[in-house]
Structure 1
């Protein structure tokens, strides 16, 4: 059985973070494992507190996984601070990890900072070069590229800039575009648009976690990067279309769906 490791923060209501990652991996028929970086008090209405795990314990968790059940792919989510970023990069290099997908979690949808301001540089310099793919949303891509993004042309400029900076592939997610939900994959110097109509569903908590985990599943199974991204987008669309309605805010997705 193929295996995927998620290194990320938690969500006690199960809609995002480690919990959403494991649900996604299970839905793809793979074996999911997890390393917790931050314990977060959050629900569908917002983030109410968090406690980072010590960097040394994050490192030990990673070692425990790789020394016993080596993952075929790794999904990275919330890393929070420079110390956690440093040890995560160090241990991934030491274990020669492959098929790494980063969802560069910087801010929650409710506006709560999920990455310390002094950690962005470490994320770009230490984590990005290890990644097969980085999957920023529009706000994250804007922060990484230093430019405002509201159009598809600006998405193209940002994707190319981020890729040139890090030397890797980038998927700029267009879920916050005003008229569609098109994503842009920039890989090997080529732009590939992945069109999608906007689904009328306000419950989209954890979409970034779900998409990046689904991409990691494809890579773990030996599917090409482009094929993994296309398949993951079909899966995420089905999760949103299911129309699960839980909680008092932006609710979670249904991860067990018919999609292939």
Structure 2
């Protein structure tokens, strides 16, 4: 993998896009994970204003510590980087009280609340983005965004630009190493941080990122009969999640009205 060329291309792409859009730079939500670590570094490398926001909601302390270790490292290297921590737990708790939903009546409440966390962070990023003349920079990778749809619609999926969405998760880790991110970020176990209990991405999905990437790279060229054993298990996971995620992956459907009906 030609990491130097990829890094240079993404940095130039981000810089040119911001300049064409007439904005000052980017705002990035930093979670303590490798995706946001890589993206925030690439934004910082543009030389444009880069605002990093850490937004804990009942967050695990190790995630907070990783986020700030990375943020402080970036601030020490790039004078264009600013950072702020916004504790969104009180706002989330107030929303929860306002919803007043009985989880016994609505079994999907826990998932809905997890997605609410992501959407609360999204609106926070857009608020500070608008205040500062910045675009919201997404942190989704290729497997999550276009493979299994492992993100929240209008949450972490609500962004202006998506610089690493054509990179697999394993490739993002390679960029993290090439960028010399702090060790805690390079070694971070992927987690979405949306649950009170510790749930890694791979525990939630039921497959590792390398396993999923193998299926995605072969998607459309092989079918179920071509797989066996563990590969078949992962194929079925990928197929099920990909099918369920089409409303995220495909453009928002529009009901077309015949032109002759307008007269």
Answer 1 or 2: which has greater helix percent.
2
Answer 1 or 2: which has greater strand percent.
1
Between structure 1 and structure 2, the one with the greater Rg is 2
- For normalisation by structure 2, the TM-score amounts to 0.30
- For normalisation by structure 1, the TM-score amounts to 0.30
